[in-house]
Amino acid sequence: MTALKNDTFLRALLRQPVDYTPVWMMRQAGRYLPEYRATRAQAGDFLSLCKNPELACEVTLQPLERYPLDAAILFSDILTIPDAMGLGLYFETGEGPRFRKTVRSMADVDALPVVDGETHLTYVCDAVRTIRRALNGRVPLIGFSGSPWTLATYMIEGGGSKDHARSKALAFDQPEVVHGLLAKLADSVTAYLNDQIRAGAQAVQIFDTWGGALSHWAYQEFSLRYMKKIVDGLIRQHDGREVPIILFTKNGGQWLEVMADTGASALGLDWTTHLGEARRRVGDKVALQGNMDPAMLRASPARIRQEVATILEEFGTGTGHVFNLGHGITPEVDPEHAGAFINAVKELSAPYHG
């Protein structure tokens, strides 16, 4: 494939020397951009946009046309796997994702297939190939999946949940059911991410959005255990390069040491964890990604720049930092403020890499 013109993001994830701190944003292709809203309207709805490789490519590239980002991320959704398993994903206006079927018994688990990218989620792999061709080596492409625990919560609850009460109750009362589901999901995520890598993804991120809702022991039993299984099964060398793996557990700052022991290349941090403290705790085991509060993008450009300076100072000199938000950019953000954020990282980070 075409050689990379800008591999700063990949080098930082592997803790190799860089000239500046690379930056991208979770949900960088999204509703805050008017051009995204226009393309989504053209597609008809969110799922139709995800399932159209050409339009998914178009929205993936839109933020790169506006901003000097150091990575593109595949436009898709974390719930593609349970949808491919036959649960019937749909979106209710104002309520988010819902499933027509739920998984609440061992019989339900046994009925689920293990899915992969090329067989069951061909449109995702086609989008990866289409995006890689369109990028033409401009920046690396990130593939991704939801974590087994995060996917399981949606499958058990039937959609999003504030407290995950049904998922936790099932895990605590019938752990064999949940472990059966998580094992099947881990096999599916591994196959899905490996197919994304073969199709052209140059790094992958596992989004553990709801792992932080678990207690200390439950996180390690129901979330981290299965993410480690995935990391162990992923392709680590492809197309002549190492493929970095990023683990991101929202509200997971208390588990950085055990997360760093999984074999992942980097850990994503939300805004509740001090970046300098995190670096001291993990040492040179992993790179760190994050971690500005997305709400900061609603502040003035001058305040955004000040926060970027603070976070860069928290991490300090040397490589191993990918600047990002602590979670996804939100729809009401002014695109000019996102630009101020990215430009501040570019302008202020070089002295930390002398």
Annotated binding site for substrate: 27-31, 77, 154, 209, 327
Examine the residue annotation and report whether 40 is marked as an active-site residue of this protein.
yes
8 A C-beta contact, residue 310 and residue 348: no
Give the ranges where the chain is alpha helix by DSSP (H).
8-13, 34-43, 46-50, 53-66, 80-82, 106-110, 117-120, 122-135, 148-157, 165-173, 175-199, 216-219, 225-233, 256-260, 275-282, 301-315, 335-349
As a whole number of angstroms, the distance between CA 178 and CA 157 comes to 13
For residue 25, give both structure tokens. Answer: 């944003």
Q: Which is catalytic among the residues 15, 27, 279, 305?
A: 27
Q: Which is catalytic among the residues 37, 40, 129, 166?
A: 40
Examine the residue annotation and report whether 133 is marked as an active-site residue of this protein.
no
8 A C-beta contact, residue 286 and residue 266: yes
Q: Which is catalytic among the residues 31, 129, 241, 298?
A: 31
Examine the residue annotation and report whether 219 is marked as an active-site residue of this protein.
no
Cα→Cα distances 129→62, 144, 191, Å: 17, 14, 17
As a whole number of angstroms, the distance between CA 242 and CA 263 comes to 13
Q: Residue 249 burial (CB < 10 Å; 0-12/13-18/19+)?
A: buried
Examine the residue annotation and report whether 126 is marked as an active-site residue of this protein.
no
For residue 196, give both structure tokens. Answer: 């994304």
Cα→Cα distances 280→185, 274, 275, 287, 354, Å: 33, 10, 9, 12, 21
Look at residue 19 and give its three-state secondary structure.
coil
Q: Are strands 287-292 and 321-325 parallel, antiparallel or unpaired?
A: parallel
CB within 8 Å of 218: residues ≥ 6 apart: 168, 171, 172
Q: Which is catalytic among the residues 154, 192, 219, 226?
A: 154
Known binding-site residue numbers: 27-31, 77, 154, 209, 327
Examine the residue annotation and report whether 132 is marked as an active-site residue of this protein.
no
For residue 48, give both structure tokens. Answer: 């139709």
Enzyme catalytic residues = 27, 31, 40, 77, 154
